[in-house]
Amino acid sequence: MYDIVIIGGTLPGLISSIKLSKKFRVCIIDLNQEIGFPTNFPGLIENQDLLNELLDSKDKLYLKQNELGFGLRSEWLMKYLTHNAARNGVDILNRTRVSNLFYDKNFSIELIGGGPKNQIISSKIIIDETERTYSAPGDKIHNFSNNNQFIISVNESQKQYFVGTIPSLNYQNITNCVLKIDRDDELTELWFDQEPELNINWIEVKKCYSFSNPKFLNVDKYVEISNEIIEKLPI
């Protein structure tokens, strides 16, 4: 029996799990083989002090001062947070999806994939982070209704972005991007409303959903959402 199950290994989900694990038994269920690969949030943080509250090490984040804050490697932020969550006793079920759930004083959650052998776990409360879970085209999704007062979620308007990473030296006056983030590994992360019609030799590309409001495209907003989730918990 868990106190809290988080459906979706998202940035707010991981942050919430670390904070809640100090008092409660917590489990994260995630569709992907590894949480945070790829990420679906920008590698940008305004208040660098927030990292000190969450991480023991920042060695591989490649932090670099930008106009809007500090650029960082979002994948390594997720890796560090995942390790911290596991060290704090959070159970993490990768490559696992929720096929159904039932409520009778507590939740019975049916699982498919790499979860426990009995394929059913129980929890008092559920945090629904499926809206922010990265899902590649054609991937299976969690299947459940969140119409229950003990299923907690905080939703913000989202839209799809095209994201590309290039060597910083190759950046040549690309002006139509929504967000440009330089990192200390000599790479630049560019966010677009749609895939640009440009001949660019990308190192990495992805399409993902993040906040519609460009002012929210930073790690700080995801930390804020984690705080809102915890405040809403009926515990």
In the chain the domains, ranked by start, together with CATH numbers, are: 2-155+216-232 (3.50.50.60), 158-215 (no CATH)
* Per-residue confidence (pLDDT) for residue 20, from 0 to 100: 98
147, 28 contact by CB (below 8 A): no
**Over the stretch 188-224, which tens digit does the pLDDT of each residue have?**
999 999 999 888 889 999 999 999 999 999 999 999 9
Spell out where the chain has E strands: 2-7, 26-29, 44-45, 64-66, 69-71, 91-93, 96-104, 106-113, 120-128, 151-152, 158-167, 179-182, 187-192, 204-211
**Over the stretch 38-96, which tens digit does the pLDDT of each residue have?**
899 999 999 999 999 889 888 899 999 999 999 999 999 999 999 999 999 999 999 99
For residue 220, the surrounding DSSP H or E stretch is helix 219-232
Percent of the chain predicted with pLDDT > 90 = 77
Amino acid residing at 32: N
- Note the residue count of the chain: 235
Name the pTM for this structure.
Answer: 0.93
**Over the stretch 111-147, which tens digit does the pLDDT of each residue have?**
998 766 668 999 999 999 999 998 765 677 899 988 8
